[in-house]
């Protein structure tokens, strides 16, 4: 029987700590590492991160856009990164933020969540702003194959509030509605559900019920201004299921793999000391 993503993630967080490291080979980091801004530079950058961290952290999160910008060669690199990271024991969360309707969202599901695809990952990020049920093919495909989906609820970028904090006729905010849908999708799952939410670590969560019985991806730690210490205050009783996402604060320590490991271990140690 195939294990669920929730089961695998719960085990990885207990064994390796609750840290997600982004793989974001954007132009400035490639330059900082002394690498060319082309597919070969992206490959050296990304595979160095995988070599250093895939055996260390619970989750690696490649940002699809930074591979896509280099066309088919970049996508080929992404396929190798996924395979090598998973082979080394890390869970792979594809940061693609896909969202559409009907056969198109099913095609995204087939690309990122069906094991027959070379882009298949353990989970994918998704945008619910065509309506939560528009993501049903993505969610159903994920669950059928033991994979997961992280749905955007409240993101760490300031522009997101104009949509995510808007209120509907029932008085609920858009973000609260998303959280309610995810809570329902995870009902009865143990040790936790496979459908998560993205909720920024830089945000004020006062009055928001973040207990969704699933993982909470928390971007914003480090370069965006949040500290590890802020997480307990933001997430409160939901902190055991929080997966802080850190990119530049770790990637900037490269290109030496030992320095990447040192940076990741330092943050992971901080996260492990959180309690509520």
Which residues are tagged catalytic? 97
* Burial of residue 75 (number of CB atoms within 10 Å: 0-12, 13-18, 19+): middle
Phi and psi at residue 94, to the nearest 5°: -80, 115
> Nearest CA to 196 among 87, 82, 95?
95
DSSP per-residue codes, 132-149? GGGGHHHHHHHHHTT-EE
CB-CB contact of 194 with 143 (8 Å): yes
Give 162's contacts (C-beta < 8 A, 6+ positions apart). Answer: none
Name the β-bridge partners of 197: 151, 216
Q: Which two tokens stand for residue 92?
A: 């792979």
Phi and psi at residue 95, to the nearest 5°: -90, 90
Place of tokens 């330059």: 31
Phi and psi at residue 92, to the nearest 5°: -110, 120
């Amino acid at each position: 029987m195939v294990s669920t993503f929730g089961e695998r993630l719960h085990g990885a967080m207990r064994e390796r700590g609750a840290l997600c490291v982004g793989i974001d080979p954007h132009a400035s980091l490639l330059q900082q590492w002394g690498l060319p801004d082309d597919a070969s530079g992206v490959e050296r950058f990304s595979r160095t991160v995988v070599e250093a961290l895939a055996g260390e952290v619970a989750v690696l999160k490649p940002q699809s856009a930074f591979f896509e910008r280099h066309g088919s060669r970049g996508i080929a690199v992404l396929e190798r990164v996924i395979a090598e990271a998973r082979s080394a024991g890390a869970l792979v969360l594809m940061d693609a933020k896909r969202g559409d309707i009907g056969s198109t969202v099913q095609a995204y599901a087939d690309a990122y969540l069906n094991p027959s695809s070379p882009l298949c990952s353990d989970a994918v990020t998704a945008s619910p702003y065509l309506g939560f049920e528009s993501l049903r093919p993505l969610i159903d495909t994920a669950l059928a194959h033991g994979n997961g989906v992280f749905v955007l609820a409240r993101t760490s970028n300031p522009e997101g509030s104009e949509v995510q904090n808007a209120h509907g006729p029932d008085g609920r905010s858009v973000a609260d509605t998303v959280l309610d849908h995810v809570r329902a999708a995870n009902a009865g799952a143990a040790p936790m559900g496979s459908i998560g939410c993205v909720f920024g670590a830089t945000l004020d969560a006062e009055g928001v019920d973040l207990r969704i019985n699933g993982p909470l991806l928390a971007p914003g730690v480090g370069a965006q201004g949040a500290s590890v210490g802020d997480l307990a205050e933001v997430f409160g009783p939901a902190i055991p299921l929080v997966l802080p996402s850190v990119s530049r604060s770790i990637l900037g320590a490269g290109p030496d793999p030992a320095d990447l490991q040192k940076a990741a271990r330092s943050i992971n140690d901080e996260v492990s000391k959180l309690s509520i």
